[in-house]
Amino acid sequence: MSQPVRLTPPLSDEQVAALTAGDRVLISGTIYTGRDAAHKRMVEALDRGEDPPFELAGAVIYYVGPSPPPPGRVIGAAGPTTSYRMDPYAPTLIARGLKAMIGKGKRGEEVKKAMQEHKAVYLAAIGGAGALMARCIKQAEVIAYPDLGPEAVRRLVVEDMPLIVVNDVRGGDLYQEGRRRYQR
């Protein structure tokens, strides 16, 4: 396996285009959380001509609804949620400059097309490794939709968050390629 690529958001088109399905990535810096309920509100806000709760240009979104932080911690368990539920909203955000999505599970064709057209990538975090992922999260702060509880939009500061590129800007798809390699 090759050395991981280190990235710090905001990400540029060039940084994203240099990634290939199967590459390992370590992200450090500021990323934002959102699940389906938050995505719905963000897209509705954009449709009304309002500003999104954070700058989308170059941004990285992590599909996560963390568990509550026990005393003395910044966050509880914080692994990825299944990404297809964000598929109806993702193309709109990608068109507005979103550069990377972090989640688990397959994406729809519309999202893959948008990633190729506007240069964005889809990164997988290990599903179900919530306690491990929490270790990379150094700060967490709710910045929008607090009424959504675990689904509120949070700004996270992460350090060396371990990820793997699933969908790249050239149509590469690790879920398909990986499976083909080991299928019997």
44: which residues sit within 8 A by CB, 6+ positions away? Answer: none
- Residues of span 126-145 touching ligand SF4 by CB under 6 A: 127-128
| CA dist., res. 114 & res. 71, Å (int) | 41
Rg of the chain over all Cα atoms, to the nearest angstrom = 15
* Per-residue binding letters, 5-44, with other proteins (x by CB under 8 A): -----------------x--------------x-------
Among 27, 102, 124, 169, binds other proteins (CB under 8 A): 124
Q: Is 108 in the site for other proteins (CB under 8 A)?
A: no
Pairing of strands 137-144, 153-167: antiparallel
| CA dist., res. 160 & res. 147, Å (int) | 30
Q: Is 140 in the site for other proteins (CB under 8 A)?
A: no
Helix then strand count (H, E) for the chain reads 6, 7
Closest CA to 161 of 6, 3, 1, 2: 6
Residue whose Cβ sits closest to ligand SF4:
128
Pairing of strands 121-124, 137-144: unpaired
* Per-residue binding letters, 109-128, with ligand SF4 (x by CB under 6 A): ------------------xx
Q: Which residues are near ligand SF4 by CB under 6 A?
A: 79, 127-128
Q: Which residues are near other proteins by CB under 8 A?
A: 1, 22, 37, 64-70, 73, 76-79, 81-82, 84, 104-106, 124, 126-132, 134-135, 149-150, 162, 164, 166, 174-175, 177-184
